[in-house]
Amino acid sequence: MSSTYGECLKLSIFGQSHGAAIGMTLDGIPAGLPVDIAALNAFLARRAPGQGAHTTARKEADVPEFLSGIVNDHTCGAPIAAMIRNENTRSADYNNLMDRPRPGHADYTAQVKYKGFQDVAGGGHFSGRLTAPLCIAGGLCKQWLSTMGISIHAHISVLGGIADEPLYQDWTCNTPMHVCDDFPVLNKSAGERMLQAIADAKADGDSVGGIIECIVTGLPAGWGDPMFGGMESRIASIVYGIPAVKGIDFGTGFTGSYMRGSENNDVYNIVDGTIRTETNNAGGILGGITNGMPLVFTAAIKPTPSIAKAQQSVSLSKMTAQELQVHGRHDPCIVPRAVPVIEAAAAIAIYDAYLASRKDNL
């Protein structure tokens, strides 16, 4: 476990924020799948820092080098390996964190688990930077799903308490998905107020969190397995691998638990000779298995724990309370950059479920 995911595919992620490189191996992918490197790099650019006023100043190209698994722009059956060299690191910023853990970060828990041997610089293996290799794997899976007519789109549903329009009932997916790649919201005015909320938090030396909604269209019915192999388990276990995610629900989710059965049940109908449900409160999943409707989930992102404001911490060596001032470069809000990461995680889980489903079709 730990940094390995998958049933039919095996994703293994490596690297520390300020180590030599970060990267991934992806085993179990069929041979002969096309790979569009330019499209992948465009996808990766969506999570890259340094693009707007709302992100960290650390600039990185984050263009992966592929080490194996791709020949003539197609998968060759061997494991796919890729890495991104770490550059522009400033480890000196983090020197005091081993003794004085940052609130909301993994500094203290890593110290207990690894007994001082962990790589503390930049959060080490716990850094949000590790979502870059997740996006390499997810960007590839997204391409392969796309050739099957399956699309994955996420947007900022809530940021700093400001809500965008919802998607989950819009199963026709006629709504334009993104106002812009860099800050994906459906409602322009909401987006502008969100950007202001980030600017306000930054001015206060503080940060904001948010909620991301993700919708997957074009899925056939019949993918996923009962019990622990259900689509919810598959997606939740990879989405919770993204730092800062603290909640996930599917369809009406938490809201649905306030409804009555007659409201929340999606009744069936025949439309154009096809079975569909009139609503999509189930978020496209029944019994863990896709029902042919869009798969919809939302993920809660906590506010960035690194804030400029002074906070109370403790000295682990002296066992006394100590004020902590976190330096370094940090996003006042990671939600916009987390949007493609959520898409990537969903793509990996769904492509894995697709591979698993191939066993069932005798």
Interaction with its own copies in 169-198: which residues (CB under 8 A)? Answer: none
Residue in 41, 96, 151, 233 binding its own copies, rule: CB under 8 A = 233
Stretch that binds its own copies, among 30-38, 41-49, 53-61, 135-143 (CB under 8 A): 30-38
Query: CA end-to-end span of the chain, whole Å?
Result: 31
The verdict on 31 binding its own copies (CB under 8 A) reads yes
CA nearest neighbour of 295 among 168, 139, 147, 140: 168
Query: Closest CB to its own copies among 150 and 285?
Result: 285
Quick one: which of 48, 81, 198, 216 contacts its own copies (CB under 8 A)?
81
Residue 45 near residue 63 (C-beta atoms within 8 A): no
Answer yes or no: are the C-beta atoms of 302 and 313 closer than 8 Å. Answer: no
Q: Is 97 exposed, middle or buried (0-12, 13-18, 19+ CB in 10 A)?
A: buried
Task: Establish if 151 lies at the interface with its own copies (CB under 8 A).
Answer: no
* Binding status of residue 92 toward its own copies by CB under 8 A: no
H or E stretch at 83:
strand 80-85
Give the Cα separation of 73 and 80 in Å (integer).
12
Is 145 one of the binding residues for its own copies (CB under 8 A)? no
Q: Which two tokens stand for residue 260?
A: 């009555």
- Residue number with CB closer to its own copies (152 or 338): 338
String marking each residue 243-272 x if it binds its own copies according to CB under 8 A: x-xxxxxxxxxx-xxxxxxxxxxxxxxx--
d(CA 73, CA 143): 13
Looking at beta carbons only, is 174 or 362 nearer to its own copies? 362
Q: Which of residues 299-318 bind its own copies (CB under 8 A)?
A: 300-307, 309, 311-314, 316
Residue 87 or 263 having the CB closest to its own copies: 263
User: Which is closer to its own copies, CB of 72 or CB of 172?
Assistant: 72
- Does the footprint of its own copies cover residue 149 (CB under 8 A)? no
Q: What is the DSSP string of 105-170?
A: SSHHHHHHHHTT-S--GGGGGGSGGGHHHHHHHHHHHHHHHHTTT-EEEEEEEEETTEE----TT-
Residues 98-127 that bind its own copies (CB under 8 A): 101, 103-106, 108-110, 112-119, 124-126
Residue 176 Cβ, how far from its own copies at the closest point, in Å? 24
Place of tokens 């987390």: 338
What does the alpha-carbon distance between residue 154 and residue 195 come to, in Å, rounded to a whole number? 18
Q: How many residues bind its own copies (CB under 8 A)?
A: 153
**Which range in 42-50, 135-143, 176-184, 234-242 contacts its own copies by CB under 8 A?**
234-242
Q: Phi/psi of residue 92, each to 5°?
A: -60, -25
From the list 145, 219, 291, 344, which residue makes contact with its own copies (rule: CB under 8 A)?
Answer: 291
Shortest Å, Cβ 293 to its own copies: 11
Interface positions, 44-63, toward its own copies (CB under 8 A): none
CB of 179 to its own copies, least distance (A): 20
Please report whether residue 321 would count as binding its own copies according to CB under 8 A.
Answer: yes
Structure tokens at 137: 């794997």
Coil/strand/helix, residue 362: coil
Q: Rounded to the nearest whole angstrom, what is the least distance from the CB of residue 142 to its own copies in the complex?
A: 17
